[in-house]
């Protein structure tokens, strides 16, 4: 009997690959021919994991900590995360509401799965982190991207949420600091949106994956406004643990049992060595390293934003967090995908096209990540200057 390969589900037509991956593949080809490539496309800090965390991970392995933890994570880690909310943000979080996940990805999967019925809608900003749409689509929910621009710092507002809420709307997802724009949701806006969501009996999901990586004001968490919110966080960015795959979800108390059920069934538990390693993230030694790195990111931002503006990119809102600049390249192109490839071929500078983040004005925008050294950023800007002028 001839082999018949299975067809795939309809959702796969709506789940896009990261376009930047094609560009990255081309960058690797160019690098293989000896070309010098400057990576300003990567959403991963260039620092490797801080030494105290690595040491704790190695120690845990030496002690044979290789079995499963309980589904919600090591009690000591859940308590350490809660203690950190209290100590650094003055917010009281029940450790019992913290579920440790394989990366923030795991947390986003759980939040979408616990909340979304098929056909129900979740409002989110366009542009946004591309996977957000796909977690929703995966469980047959619908992501409704609301076009946002510089006038609202690329964030939703209470007015926008109210205006777009309909009978099918179930949830709102915010990100602060946001990828790709690096902007924050001001506390008053957060509170306004929270009240609208409450009035509609909906759910609020706040992506705080870049929490702590802010440069102009203290980091605020949505948990400060109450426990009726799903907060997604990560050890990847501020804590520099990308490859370990560790994050967490703070769930509203009545939803914790359901989140735990999903965690047990879909993921079993987060990686054990990573959980033991992360216990060292809350030590003064580790925190000093994070602070030093935060200042380095700030210095890069403070160089990059004016430098990009000087060569003709418009950066309408100063990014206040994460490590991204979302730059309007409309002086050079209205097809930023082709533009990114041209820039790569001609200059060796790799940047991410706007279409990876949504549809609204995506052809005008590109994202620069300052996840490389100040020297490399300077070199990249010089190359762009020569190419564009």
DSSP E strands: which ranges in 179-255?
A: 203-207, 230-234, 247-250
Decide: is 267 part of the binding site for a copy of itself (CB under 8 A): yes
Closer to a copy of itself by CB, 273 or 312: give it. Answer: 273
121, 211, 245, 301: residue in contact with a copy of itself (rule CB under 8 A) = 245
CB atoms within 10 A of CB 291: 11
Decide: is 115 part of the binding site for a copy of itself (CB under 8 A): yes
Decide: is 268 part of the binding site for a copy of itself (CB under 8 A): yes
What part of residues 177-196 is at the interface with a copy of itself (CB under 8 A)?
Answer: 195
- For 347, phi then psi, to 5°, come to -120, -15
> Judged by CB under 8 A, how many residues of this single chain contact a copy of itself?
86
Name every residue whose Cβ is closer than 8 Å to that of residue 327 and which is 6 or more positions away in sequence. 308, 313, 314, 315, 365, 366, 367, 368
Closer to a copy of itself by CB, 265 or 338: give it. Answer: 265
Cis status of the peptide bond prior to 254, with omega within 30 of 0:
no
What part of residues 117-176 is at the interface with a copy of itself (CB under 8 A)?
Answer: 117-118, 120, 130-131, 134-135, 138-140, 171
Closer to a copy of itself by CB, 75 or 306: give it. Answer: 75
Q: How far is CA 94 from CA 9, 28, 97, 235, in A?
A: 39, 46, 5, 19
Decide: is 96 part of the binding site for a copy of itself (CB under 8 A): no
Rg over CA atoms, the chain: 21
30, 61, 150, 318: residue in contact with a copy of itself (rule CB under 8 A) = 61
What part of residues 12-51 is at the interface with a copy of itself (CB under 8 A)?
Answer: 12, 15-18, 21, 44, 48-49
CB atoms within 10 A of CB 205: 26
- For 221, phi then psi, to 5°, come to -110, 145
CB of 302 to a copy of itself, least distance (A): 25
Closer to a copy of itself by CB, 254 or 306: give it. Answer: 254
CB of 171 to a copy of itself, least distance (A): 7
Which region, judged by CB under 8 A, interacts with a copy of itself, from 255-263, 298-306, 327-335, 345-353?
255-263
Chain centroid offset of residue 88 CA: 21
Tell me the C-alpha distance between 130 and 187, whole Å.
Answer: 24
Decide: is 75 part of the binding site for a copy of itself (CB under 8 A): no
Tell me the C-alpha distance between 222 and 187, whole Å.
Answer: 8
What part of residues 282-321 is at the interface with a copy of itself (CB under 8 A)?
Answer: none
Which region, judged by CB under 8 A, interacts with a copy of itself, from 6-14, 92-100, 216-224, 302-310?
6-14
Cis status of the peptide bond prior to 328, with omega within 30 of 0:
no
Closer to a copy of itself by CB, 260 or 302: give it. Answer: 260
Closer to a copy of itself by CB, 237 or 364: give it. Answer: 237
CB of 150 to a copy of itself, least distance (A): 28
- Of the chain, the end-to-end C-alpha distance in Å amounts to 63
């Amino acid at each position: 009997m001839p082999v018949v390969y299975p067809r795939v589900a309809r959702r796969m037509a709506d789940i896009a690959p990261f376009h930047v991956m094609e560009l990255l593949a081309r960058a690797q080809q160019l690098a293989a021919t000896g070309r010098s490539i400057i990576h300003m496309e990567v959403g991963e800090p260039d620092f490797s994991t801080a030494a105290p965390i690595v040491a704790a991970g190695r120690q845990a392995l030496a002690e044979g900590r290789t079995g499963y933890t309980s589904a919600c994570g090591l009690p000591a880690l859940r308590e350490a995360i809660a203690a950190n909310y209290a100590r650094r943000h003055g917010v009281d979080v029940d450790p019992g509401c913290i579920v440790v996940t394989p990366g923030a990805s795991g947390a986003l999967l759980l939040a979408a799965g616990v909340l979304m019925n098929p056909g129900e809608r979740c409002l989110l900003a366009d542009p946004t982190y591309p996977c957000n749409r796909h977690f929703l689509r995966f469980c047959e929910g619908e992501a409704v991207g609301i076009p946002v621009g510089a006038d609202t710092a690329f964030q939703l507002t209470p007015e926008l949420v109210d205006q777009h809420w309909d009978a099918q709307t179930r949830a709102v997802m915010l990100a602060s600091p946001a990828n790709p724009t690096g902007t924050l949701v001001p506390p008053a806006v957060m509170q306004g949106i929270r009240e609208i969501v409450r009035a509609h009996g909906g759910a609020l999901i706040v992506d705080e994956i870049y929490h702590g990586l802010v440069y102009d004001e203290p980091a605020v968490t949505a948990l400060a406004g109450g426990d009726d919110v799903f907060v997604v966080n990560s050890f990847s960015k501020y804590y520099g643990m990308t490859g370990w795959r560790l994050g967490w979800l703070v769930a509203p108390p009545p939803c914790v049992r359901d989140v735990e059920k999903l965690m047990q069934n879909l993921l079993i538990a987060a990686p054990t060595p990573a959980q033991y390693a992360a216990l060292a993230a809350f030590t003064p030694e580790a925190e000093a390293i994070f602070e030093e790195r935060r200042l380095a990111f700030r210095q890069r931002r403070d160089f990059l934003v004016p430098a990009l503006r000087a060569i003709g990119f418009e950066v309408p809102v100063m990014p206040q967090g994460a490590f991204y600049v979302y730059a309007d390249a409309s002086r050079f192109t209205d097809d930023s995908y082709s533009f990114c490839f041209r820039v790569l071929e001609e200059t060796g500078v790799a940047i991410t096209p706007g279409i990876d983040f949504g549809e609204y004005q995506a052809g005008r925008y590109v994202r620069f990540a300052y996840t490389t050294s100040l020297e490399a950023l300077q070199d990249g800007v010089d190359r762009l200057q020569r190419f564009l002028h």
